[in-house]
Amino acid sequence: MAIIVNLDVMLAKRKMRSKELAAIIGITTANLSILKSGKAKAVRFSTLEAICKALDCQPADILEFVED
């Protein structure tokens, strides 16, 4: 996939667990796992906003474009 989700890296930087983030942004851990593994087809702006708010970062810190 061309878009890489660097959520793991940001979580490690903020020393936060996936479970905590899921609880803060209001999604299930299963969905967060889908997002982290790159299986997600799309991310809602509202989810992205919540993640950015919770991790105090920019969307570019989480999403990265890599050419195939």
Partner 1 sequence: MRKLNILKTIVDIIFIITIPLMLSCIAIAIGVFFIDFTDLSFIDIELIIDSENYNPKDLFSNILISISTINYLLLIAAFYIFRKVLYHFLRVKIFEDYVINSFLKIGNLIIISAIISIVLSFVSNLYYYKSGITFEIGSNENVMNICLGLFFLVLSEIFKIAKNAKQENDLTI
Which residue ranges make up the site for partner 1 (CB under 8 A)? 27, 31-32, 34-35, 39-44, 47
DSSP 38: T
We find the least distance from the C-beta atom of residue 39 to partner 1, in angstroms, to be 6
- How many angstroms separate the CA atoms of 36 and 8, rounded? 7
| Of residues 14 and 29, the one with the C-beta less far from partner 1 | 29
CB of 41 to partner 1, least distance (A): 4
As measured in angstroms, the least distance from the Cβ of 15 to partner 1 is: 22
CA separation for the pair 36, 26 (Å, rounded): 16
